[in-house]
Amino acid sequence: MQRFANKVALVTGASTGIGLETIKRIRAEGGTVFAAHRRGVLEIEGVPSIALDVTNEEHWERAVSEVVATAGRLDILINNAGVRESGSVEETTLEQWHRLIDTNLTSIFLGCRAAVPAIRNAGGGAIVNVGSITGIRGTENMVAYSASKSGVTSMTSSLALDLARDNIRVNAVCPAAIRTRMVTDWLGAADDVDAAEAAVLAKHPIGRIGRPDEVASVIAFLASDDASFMTGMSIPVDGGRSIR
């Protein structure tokens, strides 16, 4: 399939995991992709990299301008960058709260605000936000993370209402545990790694942790014209966790 022929996409959090697999998927289907992440270096031939601190308004404006100056247009924005940290309401510091809200939620606001004019000028397109299953169902000991991801879910539906008139669709994916560096580092920090992983597996009826490419395939679907009658949705990609 060449679902993304003549389409230009900007993907954040692009260096590993879901972001990297999304880039591979869109490129394999004919799209031009710009990879945005803090380090600004991505070793995939033919994929230009942009250094982007997603919490920085000026960085966003510069990134979108660079994409349009280079490729002539922007059709798709994938807001994938994020951080995961645990903590109850009593354990979570104000600094930690702001870090999670800024990185996981404010970054999407800034990204959409910077990208929407360019996507509108291209005749419309798609925005896909990466939320979390915790944005649909709260998770214990993750008060700030859950709040940030719940914000992604509600903001996605509000953006979809605002932007439908511009032929811009906005959807989100909500992964559960995916075998990314974020989850691997979290499991590796446990006192008993095997027990921690067993506890995670028990929450997923499918009985395993997901793969980044499995999330990327849903992102690609939502970003493509195959999902042309879908907007405002937050789709669980969670091995059944949300129905347990």
- Which positions are annotated as active-site residues? 145
Cβ proximity of 141 and 42 under 8 Å: no
Q: Spell out where the chain has E strands.
A: 8-12, 32-37, 49-51, 76-79, 125-130, 168-175, 234-237
Beta strands at 125-130 and 168-175: parallel, antiparallel or unpaired: parallel
Which of 234, 58, 237 minimizes the C-alpha distance to 160? 234
Residue indicated by tokens 């929407």: 116
Burial class (CB in 10 A: 0-12, 13-18, 19+), 191: exposed
Q: How many residues does the chain have?
A: 244
Which of 86, 88, 132 minimizes the C-alpha distance to 108? 132
